[in-house]
A and B are shown apart, each in its own frame.
Chain A
């Protein structure tokens, strides 16, 4: 901890590393720590459905073996440096998130360069990782929230790449061989895709040296094409019931297609959705939790991605209240879309979003992430910097028009994790104009 903390916030510096690679640096010496993100403009949307899980498997295998180092040696080295290294695979990026004690940043970056540049992909480690991944998929079924999220995403996006799960399915994971992994690495891990970010106790010059070493470890190839179709949603209200025994509580996610950051009404829709379910005093929270006590949490959100992604409402009522809660949420959504928001609500949320923006930029790490998000998710340039101004410009009329144009109360997915034998009929009756019902065992692949 140093006393030299000064509140000077300008946009983090971006540097062209050449060959398509980019470096973003946000220095801060408040703590003797360095945050490092090494991202590739890649992600699950670049493969095919048959590849579901391959990119994550490949990335994890790269972390586990490289020339001259076994898994155990790599892990021990990371620990010895006082570091952490975690891989996250999303629809539009693969990111290696690192944190390290300041004194060891050079050694940590050298290790990452080695993992990127000299992976060995041993057959025995691949086989072990496949077994581990399948076991993790089985284990993830213990989380009802995760079951709801996976089922919701698959039902909303169906054949679109956004439906894919980064972890994959047991059926796809079991199929992958070393050749698949090698091809995946060759396609995705290229210099032209790299976005490297440093935040914390590192100078721009020091960061540039480390970043160049990491970039030099990858083939100097351009980024693979990132073509991605706009998703569409199937018509009608569709119920997806994930059947799990003995649930005293349900997990509900209701939603459909939401917003693209390129939509002219994106900020209007964001403000409206925040009014609906973005705060402790939102409409959803008031009606579901404060008035009725049905659910510990109640929220609505728009997910940001390169193309139009989902809007969703999430609640977790007790099983006895689930059907009533679904009916109420549908009614609240209809009221929102039909009636828009009030001037008072809008003024309140504008003030909230504007003032709370301080917490979006109060650490070097957050400021860095805003810039890398803009690059990786292809947000409109200056998306975060302009956010407050754009939200403050929203009018009641614009919010109403955005809701009417973008949020469908007809084409919706209603996802329930609960016990079907006790609840299914009641839930079906709570959804007017239900077009289809799918009941899925919670342990289906």
Chain B
């Protein structure tokens, strides 16, 4: 996997983090698992798998695995989105509504719990085998870019079509989200809720609606990330680990900046590959595992608000 693609994927997960963090002040540790869950559900629906089939078979001694139909990709994506909205509603109704006004660390702990729950739940629901995901996105080397760069530079760039698509989708998503937050009625309400609950209530904003909307948006972003990552390397449980790589991305980009999440993701994705390529051989390789975190550490020391984050100034 090359750096650009990895970067875009980190960015997509980070985007989900930023969304929830901006709108509710919750640092959502479960964003990566949400991407995994979305991808699992998508594959499950597309292939007509029976949810909880292992559980059902174990309890009733039956042997059901498939409904015997296949759902077209587009319909399956819509259905998965419905599931993610349902999940958003449940998460708000049964977890975060009861934790309103709690310390951020408590909310954070709740999302860790949510992450582990979702991971286990996804396992029970759809099984833990590695699944192939193909929603019809083009894959393979982009021959046009290969040819053009070959003619220009004398050697060709190998860029996967899927990477181009992922980048394109990520950019589109960011533009849409920024427009939504800045100019739409619900986007304005979302920013208001993030800023002050009481004031938001007093101008007639339904807090619960906004929270469910924000979690649904995060679910949508998770779905997009899940599709890209799942198409690239199969839907597997290591997907949830990209959530951890999203943390340094956020340090770099700033916790409150949507464009920051994208730029941070790309810097880390490309940076870690380049670092591995250039410095890796000198230190015995495997720099990819720690490069992102060290970079984040350096940023924390010299520019704690990240590249694009709001500077926090406290008046005394």
Do A and B form a real pair? no
